[in-house]
Amino acid sequence: MRMILEIVLGLLMVFTGFMAVESKKIIHAVIFLSFLSMLAVVGFVMMKAPDVAVTEAVIGSGLVTALFIFTLMASKDGKAGEEQ
């Protein structure tokens, strides 16, 4: 059962990473990256590395996502990097 969960988690991580790269809107890419980071937290917990999981949750999911969103909000009307 655990092996199946690990395979599903790995496939979800690959899919989420692909969706983050292929997103047309930057905010969607940020959301996918945040979700990818949370999936990594689950993976670290499954590998019995809670200290790494907490660090990834705080920095990867929380701080980096907040930094990306604040940067997008500070850019010209939230359309940084999009073709005009």
pLDDT tens digits along 11-68: 999 999 999 999 999 999 999 999 999 999 999 999 999 999 999 999 988 899 999 9
How many Cα atoms occupy the beta-carbon half-sphere of 12 within 13 Å?
Answer: 15
CATH class of the domain defined by 2-76: mainly alpha
Q: Tell me what pLDDT residue 57 has.
A: 92
Q: Tell me what pLDDT residue 77 has.
A: 63
Q: Tell me what pLDDT residue 38 has.
A: 95
Q: Tell me what pLDDT residue 79 has.
A: 60
pLDDT at 76 over 80: no
Distance CA 34, CA 38 (A): 6
pLDDT at 81 over 80: no
